[in-house]
Every structure is written in structure tokens, then in C-alpha cells.
Chains A and B, each alone.
Chain A
Amino acid sequence: MRVFLLGVSHRTAPVDLRERLDFSSRDLGGAVEAVATRPSAAESVVLSTCNRSEIYVASGDPARAREDLTTFLSDYHSLPASSFTPHLYSRHDEAAIGHLFRVASGLDSLVVGEPQILGQVKDAFQVAADRRCTGPLLSKLFHWSFVVGKRVRTETALGEGAVSISYAAVALARKIFGRLEGRRVLVVGAGETSTLTAQHLRASGVAEITVTSRTHAHAEVLATAVNGRTLAWESIAQGLATADIIVTATGSQRPILTRAQFEPVTGRHRHGPLFIIDMAVPRDVEASVGDIEEVFLYNVDDLQTIVNENLSRRSSEIELAEAIVSEELSKFAAWHRSRSAIPTVVALRERFDRIRRAELQRLDSKLAGLTPEARARVEEVTRLIVEKLLLEPTEQLKGLPDEETQAAYTEAMNRLFRLREGETAQGPAETAAEVTPADPHAT
């Protein structure tokens, strides 16, 4: 059984095609079940996010699986295959396994190291597992990929540092205030970036969000969106006095918050720092406000610099993460190879045991005089001999270093012990001489 993968992602397909091949907005469970009905797919998992749609299957025949899955995509999404096949990629065996590991660790994401993907991979597997579409191979593979994702997250800085301006602002706020519960936020101007930042702050648990805008209606819209309250533009001084965090994003051509406005609300009137995030271009807050001791003033450029630094730090971690992926890949491949040795091992055991039993049967009349205990002993000893003979070959077969060697060994085993021919009449007779004088305790 081999691992096969077919899919599209942000690397190969434009967004409109990705949207048309998306499963997540439709019935994902139904899709997995539909894949599982294909004879070439013994096990299946469908992973669908806004940046990728991928189908993983365990299959005995990857070439056939490729055809089946392409037809499935075409049928399921009612698209002619020719419209998406140029954008498809397919991988099998180690390439497919490595791909999943890279996906789960965020290495293949649009924003490298983004944290959601591991959860999405887990969900995709869970949906498939709930519908009994997974089996031993994909179960092992996906659980292994969770481990890889977690290792990359904890052992590298691939996912560290905010990579969007609004997240960078929230991360800074946390670094200043610790937990944001109980903090008060004043939003000045209801622009798009301030809305996003306010939403992130709300999600971080701030106690209160107050919105003020020259156009009161805009303030009300944003206040409703973030479950906050509005403040009349004229009363802005009152908002400045109580806020811990101020987010500004007005369209004003001149600074609207001056140092003079902050003098009465800082110094001994304030216990603790004030964090001002100026999202506006041109800036809303006079630069000299940042000179006040307890004020931390960040504008869009400052935040963008942080984002850029974080991005470059992430990319410097890629090598480390790739090393973890390839380490885990070779571990998984070894496990997979040891698994593919199992049929040969089982056949070998059956073969040996058949010979043993046939010999015992042949000697049945000679052993007739033995007590039941002595007979049980003979049985036990012969069984132990066979097991001991097979112990080392079994270990060796499971630990073969690569698939080529494995194929050669399997072939050799098949020939040496005629494993594929099943029952043969001459089998026991050939080895009879070796087995007969086996048990000294028998007499």
C-alpha cells in the first residue's frame, strides 16, 4: 500500500480556480466518502483550506489513483478536467509523505509558519476518521504529521512574531500590558485598519472599547461591530484620560492628537503606560507625544518594520524546520518499509510452521508411545526452534534501508522458500531430514 496525493494550492493555481475546487464550504465528509468509494483508494483524507485542496489516499496503484481522483474532482465540482489538470500536482510515496509534513508544519503555507494549518490538517483527518475512510497507513501518517507540526512549532521560531500590522500591534500591547483583560481602548477614527486592530483587541479580551469619530455614524458602526460604545468627538479629552491603548486612523491631513492634549493626562495623573497605535497616513499623532515618558507611540511604518523583521526571522528558520521534516520523513519511511516487509514475514512464518506441523504429523505413529506431557513438550520445542530460526531474518527484513533493497530481498525470499506457490507437496519431504532428530527429550 502506497501513499498518493493529488491537489492544487496557492503555489500552482489562481484563487478563482482554488475557490472552484474548494471542499471546505461544501460537505467535506461527503467528499471524503465519495473518494473512498473509488477502488484505487483504500484509505482517504481530504484537506481543504482557502489556500489548498488536497486529496491523500492509500493506494496499491498510484497511477490508477491519479486517474480516479482527477475524474472525481471533475465530477464533484462539475468542472471539465482540462480546466484544472495543468494546475494539479501529484506526489507519491516519500514525496507525498514529505509534502504532508511540510504542510502540517506551515512550511508550505502562503504566510510561512502560520499557525492555523496544523489544526486544519487535524480537522481534515478527524472528518475522514469519523467516516471510517482512514486505515492503518493514513492514520499513522497523519498522526505523525501532527507530531512534525508540533516539533517545528516548539523547536523553531518559524511561527513566531506577528506578520500583519494589526497583529503586531496586539502583540506589542501584550508585551506592555501582559494580559489585556481589564484594559481600556480608545479608537479614534473608524478606518479599515483600526477596525481590524479593534477586533483583534476585542478578541484578546480587553475590558472596554470606546470609539470616537468626526462622523458619529461611522463610530456607531464600528462600536457595534466590536461590542463597544461611542464617545462624542468633542469629549475626546475624556477618552484620552482613561484609555490604556489608543488606536487612531482618521483621514485628517494634520495631526489631531497633540502633545498639549496629553500633558494633562500623563505624568502623575496616570498610573502605568499608555500605548498609542497611529494607523493613519498622514499621521494622526504628533511625533513629540512619543517623548512623554510613559507613552509608547507606534505608527504604521514602525509596525511594518516589525512585521518585516518577523518575516525575515521566520524565513531564517525555514532551514531548521526543513531539517526536522526530513528527519521525521526518514523515520516514517523506515516505519513504512518495515510495514511492507510484513507480508513476506508472515508468508515465511506460515511456510515454516506448515513444515513443522507436517513433520510432527508424519512422526505421529512414532510419538504415539509418549505421555501427553512429553508430546506437548515436543510440540513446544519444535515451535520454539522455528521461532528462533525466524527471529533474525524477520528483524533484518523489517530494517532494510531502502525500497530497492527491500524488493530484492523480498524476491530472494520468495524464490528461496517458494513463498508465492502456496502449498507444495514436496515441501515437508525436502526438509524432513533436518526436522526429524529434533527433540532429545522425546525419548
Chain B
Amino acid sequence: MNLLPLVLYAAAAVAYAIHFAKRQPAMGRAATTLLLLGALAHTFVIGMQTMEVRHVPFANPSRAVSSFVWLLALSYLYLELTTDERAMGVFILPIAVGLQAIPVVSPGVENADPVLDSPWFWIHVASLLFAYASFALAAMLGLTYMLQFKEIKKKHLGYLYTRLPSLHVLDAMNSRAVVVGWLFLTIGVVVGVVWAAEARALTPENLNLQAMSLQDPKVFIAVLTWAVYSFALLARRALGWTGRRSAWLSALGFVIVLLNFLPVSYFVTTSHTFQ
């Protein structure tokens, strides 16, 4: 079921790449249309899964990845439609395609622990996934900022120079994405902590809940992520860390997010495996 969105995202990625290289407006519109169709198909898939398991399909890592890709596609579409700037598509879509391949290859079974049967769970995971999607955007904006910064600094105005938005615009979009991501990350973490404490009181014998502490890698890295982005926000305001430094920070932050999201979720954590 996750295949159709994947195919549409892949087609959109190709169209964005051609649009980036050849700068044909018609190809750009085609890319946006394909992405819109992909996001619609994906909405349908997630809707179906929600009806099937009677809650949003977040509990299994593969399905969480799929939901993350869906939120990323929606956030990117929002960014594109509000700024009328398509150049970033070529950087964002490969992430969507790469991650969406995971649920296609290993769909996973949504076999959730009854302890997750709580609205808190939904808010916790949705906030975090949305935060991660924002951070993915911020990281790509930061990456392109650095590439273009280098071209201008070295006085070697080449391929990217004629295609990317100005440094100022990239920096402003990066800042906005980090702020939004940080807000949702904070909400997600706070809700997680409150809800874990509540659930532990109700079902003290649950092994997952017992493992829920700062020593658990998933929890630890989430807190580390929060620290990195909080620093990025603070440094921008207090130390004047804009432009290249904030670009670096958002790229670093997203590497940590990805680390937490994929290898840690699948192999390391003991607290977040409600199967």
C-alpha cells in the first residue's frame, strides 16, 4: 500500500531534478503536481491504516517512518506554496523517497500494546514526527546555504548560484523551520514524560515503561536533540549565530534525529518497542 506514494514521490523527485537542472517552469509545475498526488495518495494510505488499527499508525517503526515522510511532504509543500520557491525540492524529495522505501520493503505489523491506547500517545508521536519533518527541511535549507555560501565566498559562482534562492532567504526559512520544529519537539517530549509517568502508575509491570529513563538511548538522544536545537535558537538570538553557523547546527541536529529515528528505533532502544 505504501508503494503508490513511493512511486509518485520518486517521479516528483525526478521532475524536481530536471526542473533544477533545466529551469523549465512547466517541469516545475509537473513536479509540484506529482508531489501533491503523492501526498494525497499517502494521506489515503495513512487514513486506511488508521481505520484498520483504530488509531494513527505510529507504534511500529516502519509505519512511523511512513507517517514522517507524509508530514515531510506536507511541510515541504507548504513551504513551496508559501514562498513560491521550487529549488529546494531536489534536496527534500530524495529524503522522502529514501525513507518511504523502508515501509515498502518491510511494512511491519501494527500490533500495539494496549498501554498505547491513549490520546497522549497520539499527541506525543505526531508532535515528534512533525518536529522531525521540520528539522529535515531545516537541515536541507542549511545544507544548501552552506553550498551557496561557499560558492560566493570562494568567488566561484557556478551551478548552484544561478539556481538557489538568496542566502538571506535560505537563512530565514531555516530559522523558521527550526523554530517550528523546536516547538513541536518540546511539546512531544513534555507530553511523553507526563504520559510515561501516568502510564507507569497505572501499569507498573510494563517492561517498556520500566526502561523509560534517561539511560535509554532513545530517550537520551531525544533530549540531546532538544539541547542542540535549543542551543541553535539561543545562539541565533544571543550570539548572532546566523547563516553558516546555524546551518551547521541544523544539519548536525538532523543527523542526530535520523540516528534516533532509524538505527536506534530498530535495534537499540528497549523503551520504545511497544509490540
User: CB within 8 Å of B: which residues of A?
Assistant: 154, 160-161, 172, 174-179, 267-273, 293-294, 296, 298, 302, 305-306, 309
Once the chains bind, are A273 and B167 in contact (CB under 8 Å)?
yes
A298 contact set on B, CB distance < 8 A: 155
Given A154-B25, A174-B166, A176-B168, check contact A271 B240 (CB 8 Å).
yes
Once the chains bind, are A160 and B162 in contact (CB under 8 Å)?
yes
A175-B167, A267-B240 are known contacts; what are 4 more A-B pairs with Cβ within 8 Å?
A: A269-B240, A270-B240, A302-B155, A309-B157
B242 within 8 A of A: yes
**Residues of B223-275 whose CB lies within 8 A of A:** 239-240, 242-244
Once the chains bind, are B240 and A177 in contact (CB under 8 Å)?
no
CB distance from B26 to the nearest CB of A (A): 10
B166 contact set on A, CB distance < 8 A: 174-178
Once the chains bind, are B242 and A305 in contact (CB under 8 Å)?
no
Q: How far does the alpha carbon of A302 sit from the alpha carbon of B155 in the complex, in Å?
A: 7
Once the chains bind, are B161 and A272 in contact (CB under 8 Å)?
no
Once the chains bind, are B168 and A177 in contact (CB under 8 Å)?
yes
**Residues of B119-168 whose CB lies within 8 A of A:** 148, 152-153, 155, 157, 161-162, 165-168
B242 contact set on A, CB distance < 8 A: 271-272
B4 within 8 A of A: no
Q: Which of B152, B169, B239, B240 contacts A296 (CB 8 A)?
A: B152
Interface size on B, residues (CB 8 A): 20
Q: How far does the alpha carbon of A273 sit from the alpha carbon of B239 in the complex, in Å?
A: 14
A270 contact set on B, CB distance < 8 A: 240
Once the chains bind, are A268 and B155 in contact (CB under 8 Å)?
no
Once the chains bind, are B169 and A272 in contact (CB under 8 Å)?
no
CB distance from B240 to the nearest CB of A (A): 5
9 nearest CB pairs, A to B: A178-B168, A178-B166, A271-B240, A178-B169, A177-B168, A302-B155, A268-B240, A176-B167, A175-B166
Q: How far does the alpha carbon of A296 sit from the alpha carbon of B243 in the complex, in Å?
A: 13
Q: How far does the alpha carbon of A44 sit from the alpha carbon of B171 in the complex, in Å?
A: 53
Q: Which residue of B lies closest to A313 (CB)?
A: B162
Q: Which residue of B lies closest to A267 (CB)?
A: B240
CB distance from A273 to the nearest CB of B (A): 6
Listed A/B pairs (15) with beta-carbon separation below 8 Å: A154-B25, A161-B162, A174-B166, A175-B152, A175-B167, A176-B167, A177-B167, A268-B240, A270-B240, A271-B240, A272-B168, A272-B171, A294-B244, A298-B155, A306-B157
Given A154-B25, A268-B239, A296-B152, check contact A175 B244 (CB 8 Å).
no
B167 contact set on A, CB distance < 8 A: 175-178, 273
Q: How far does the alpha carbon of A161 sit from the alpha carbon of B162 in the complex, in Å?
A: 9
Q: Which residue of A lies closest to B153 (CB)?
A: A296
CB distance from A311 to the nearest CB of B (A): 14
Once the chains bind, are A294 and B243 in contact (CB under 8 Å)?
yes
A293 contact set on B, CB distance < 8 A: 244
Report which residue of B153, B239, B242 has the largest number of chain A beta carbons within 10 angstroms of its beta carbon: B153
Q: Which residue of B lies closest to A244 (CB)?
A: B168
Once the chains bind, are A305 and B155 in contact (CB under 8 Å)?
yes
CB distance from A135 to the nearest CB of B (A): 35
Q: How far does the alpha carbon of A270 sit from the alpha carbon of B242 in the complex, in Å?
A: 10
B239 contact set on A, CB distance < 8 A: 268
Once the chains bind, are A172 and B25 in contact (CB under 8 Å)?
no
Report which residue of B155, B161, B165 has the largest number of chain A beta carbons within 10 angstroms of its beta carbon: B155
B25 contact set on A, CB distance < 8 A: 154
A267 contact set on B, CB distance < 8 A: 240
Q: How far does the alpha carbon of A298 sit from the alpha carbon of B153 in the complex, in Å?
A: 9
CB distance from A337 to the nearest CB of B (A): 31
Q: How far does the alpha carbon of A441 sit from the alpha carbon of B172 in the complex, in Å?
A: 81
Q: Which residue of B lies closest to A172 (CB)?
A: B152
Q: How far does the alpha carbon of A309 sit from the alpha carbon of B157 in the complex, in Å?
A: 9
Given A175-B152, A296-B153, check contact A272 B243 (CB 8 Å).
yes
Q: Which residue of A lies closest to B244 (CB)?
A: A293
CB distance from B135 to the nearest CB of A (A): 23
Q: How far does the alpha carbon of A394 sit from the alpha carbon of B243 in the complex, in Å?
A: 67
A174 contact set on B, CB distance < 8 A: 166
A268 contact set on B, CB distance < 8 A: 239-240
B169 contact set on A, CB distance < 8 A: 178
A271 contact set on B, CB distance < 8 A: 240, 242
CB distance from A181 to the nearest CB of B (A): 11
B155 contact set on A, CB distance < 8 A: 298, 302, 305
Q: How far does the alpha carbon of A299 sit from the alpha carbon of B100 in the complex, in Å?
A: 48
Q: Which residue of A lies closest to B164 (CB)?
A: A175
Once the chains bind, are B240 and A175 in contact (CB under 8 Å)?
no
Q: Which residue of B lies closest to A310 (CB)?
A: B157
Q: How far does the alpha carbon of A270 sit from the alpha carbon of B244 in the complex, in Å?
A: 13
B152 contact set on A, CB distance < 8 A: 172, 175-176, 296
Q: How far does the alpha carbon of A160 sit from the alpha carbon of B157 in the complex, in Å?
A: 13
A296 contact set on B, CB distance < 8 A: 152-153
CB distance from B248 to the nearest CB of A (A): 11
CB distance from B40 to the nearest CB of A (A): 30
Q: How far does the alpha carbon of A298 sit from the alpha carbon of B152 in the complex, in Å?
A: 10
A302 contact set on B, CB distance < 8 A: 155
Q: Which residue of A lies closest to B239 (CB)?
A: A268
Q: How far does the alpha carbon of A273 sit from the alpha carbon of B167 in the complex, in Å?
A: 9
Q: Which residue of B lies closest to A168 (CB)?
A: B157
Q: Which residue of A lies closest to B152 (CB)?
A: A296
Q: Which of B153, B162, B165 contacts A178 (CB 8 A)?
A: B165
A272 contact set on B, CB distance < 8 A: 168, 171, 242-243
Report which residue of A172, A271, A306 has the largest number of chain B beta carbons within 10 angstroms of its beta carbon: A271
B243 contact set on A, CB distance < 8 A: 272-273, 294
Q: Which residue of B lies closest to A175 (CB)?
A: B166
Q: Which residue of B lies closest to A291 (CB)?
A: B153
Q: Which residue of A lies closest to B245 (CB)?
A: A293
B172 contact set on A, CB distance < 8 A: 178
Once the chains bind, are A175 and B153 in contact (CB under 8 Å)?
no
